[in-house]
């Protein structure tokens, strides 16, 4: 590869002009000689411009430099705590976020939070474990009508005193968890039990009203009140669930029963007095 191949030189161009042009377009930085000025002139030129500032100018400049340094120090002192607060807040937020996400993924959050987290991330396709009745084979609330969040955890709560499995209708596995509790007292018992019945509390969920025991397990105050007006119902509830309200209903029924016996005794006493007067 010759120089003629690398650089296309016109024949009519003078050599000095070509060198100057090549030097100007080359990647080599021009040296002092290539600048065309003698070194001593360049040195004089540098000495002409590169002079120390006079003392007054130097003092002014140094004063501005130190003032700028002080201002910068103050600004940094103010900005540092702010930065630290923001950094702390960011770290705390990240820890809480990832911690909550990890606990939700592990399913160790409390039940409401776990279900809430599962509901929040369900639309984006993340399936988190749930707690409560939905975990026992219930359809996911995200795929249902949306009432699944109003769950009543009591049906899955093991209660040895209750016998919902024996009654059939109340424990047949129907989604009773979504049944509003207001339906419970709206079914008054048409039959008024005989207060003198010897065994008013022997059947455990034996009556059809005994199916309401599942509803009464939700400890609604209305259950106790309803059972007050329905002795048979109240007795069943009171004995089956041990609910305080139901117990109160049972006691009140018993009290009424005792009152009836007392009235009967007084009536008999009145008749005896009549007989004595007659005698």
Partner 1 sequence: MTIGSTFASVLALAQEGDDHALTVLYKDVAPLVMGYLRSNRVENVEDVAGDVFVSMVTSIGGFGGGEDQFHSWLLTITHRRMIDDRRRRTRRREDTVAPVDLDRDGESGRDVAAVMDAGVTAVNRLDVGDVLAAMDHLTPEQREVVMLRVLADLPIRDIAAIVARPETAVRALLRRGVAAIHRNLTSSDSDVAS
Task: By CB under 8 A, name the binding residues for partner 1.
Answer: 14, 16-17, 19-21, 23-25, 29-30, 35-38, 41-42, 44-53, 57-58, 60-62, 64-66, 68-69, 72-73
250 within 8 A of 228, measured Cβ to Cβ? no
CB closer to partner 1 out of 53 and 260: 53
In whole angstroms, give the CA distance from residue 132 to residue 152.
Answer: 9
Three-state DSSP class for 88?
helix
CB closer to partner 1 out of 7 and 35: 35
Closest separation in Å from C-beta 73 to partner 1:
6
Whose CA is closest to 258, among 200, 203, 213, 209? 200
CB closer to partner 1 out of 34 and 273: 34
DSSP states along 231-250 = HHHHHHHHHHH--HHHHHHH
Closest separation in Å from C-beta 110 to partner 1:
49
DSSP states along 22-63 = HHHHSSSPP-TTTTTS-HHHHHHHHHHH--PPPHHHHHHHHH
Instruction: Supply φ then ψ for residue 136, to 5 degrees.
Output: -95, 45
Closest separation in Å from C-beta 5 to partner 1:
21
CB closer to partner 1 out of 45 and 90: 45
Closest separation in Å from C-beta 3 to partner 1:
18
Closest separation in Å from C-beta 8 to partner 1:
13
CB closer to partner 1 out of 66 and 91: 66
Whose CA is closest to 164, among 177, 182, 148, 181? 177
The length of the chain in residues reads: 279
Closest separation in Å from C-beta 78 to partner 1:
15
CB closer to partner 1 out of 60 and 84: 60
């Amino acid at each position: 590869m010759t120089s003629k191949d690398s650089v296309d030189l016109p024949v009519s161009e003078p050599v000095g002009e070509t060198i100057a042009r090549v030097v100007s377009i080359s990647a080599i930085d021009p040296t002092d000689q290539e600048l065309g000025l003698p070194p001593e002139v360049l040195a004089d030129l540098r000495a002409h411009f590169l002079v120390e500032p006079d003392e007054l100018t130097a003092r002014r400049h140094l004063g501005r430099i130190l003032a700028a340094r002080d201002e910068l120090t103050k600004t940094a002192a103010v900005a540092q705590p702010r930065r630290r607060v923001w950094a702390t807040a960011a770290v705390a937020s990240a820890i809480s976020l990832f911690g909550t996400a990890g606990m939700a993924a592990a399913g160790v959050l409390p039940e409401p939070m776990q279900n809430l987290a599962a509901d929040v991330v369900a639309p984006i396709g993340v399936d988190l474990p749930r707690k409560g009745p939905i975990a026992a084979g219930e359809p996911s609330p995200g795929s249902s009508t949306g009432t699944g969040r109003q769950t009543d955890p009591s049906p899955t709560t093991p209660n040895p005193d209750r016998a919902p499995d024996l009654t059939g209708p109340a424990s047949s596995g129907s989604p009773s968890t979504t049944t509003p509790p207001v339906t419970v007292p709206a079914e008054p018992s048409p039959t008024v039990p005989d207060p003198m019945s010897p065994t008013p509390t022997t059947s455990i969920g034996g009556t059809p009203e005994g199916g309401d025991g599942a509803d009464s397990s939700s400890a609604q105050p209305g259950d106790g009140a309803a059972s007050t007006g329905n002795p048979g119902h109240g007795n069943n509830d009171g004995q089956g669930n041990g609910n305080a309200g139901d117990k109160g209903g049972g006691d009140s029924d018993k009290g009424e029963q005792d009152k009836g016996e007392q009235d009967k005794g007084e009536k008999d006493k009145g008749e005896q007095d009549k007989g004595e007067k007659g005698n």
